[in-house]
Amino acid sequence: MRFDYRIFHIDCTARHDEDGAYYTHARITHVPDERTPHLEVFDSGDLDGFPNEWDALHCVRSWAIAWCDEVLA
């Protein structure tokens, strides 16, 4: 799931593991602008496990948006 939110580009993924759970990950990119002239990338690492892909992607999307809001606060 890829989307833009405010000044960030967010790529959320859920990988299906051997244990049957879907583990989430977010890669958040801040595109350079006049205040920050270089590309910044944050990788969340695995965040949590979920029983299905839809729940995993919904949760990681919400987590990424909250992370972006906190960075900009």
The pTM for the full model equals: 0.87
What whole-number distance in Å separates Cα of residue 7 and Cα of residue 35?
Answer: 12
- Domain tally for the chain? 1
Range of the domain at 39: 2-72
Query: What span, in angstroms and rounded, lies between the C-alpha atoms of 46 and 35?
Result: 30
Q: Which pLDDT score is estimated for 32?
A: 77
Q: Closest Cα partner for 28 from 7, 49, 47?
A: 7
pLDDT of residue 51: 96
Q: What is the mean pLDDT of each run of 10 residues along the chain (73 residues)?
A: 95 96 96 78 93 96 96 87
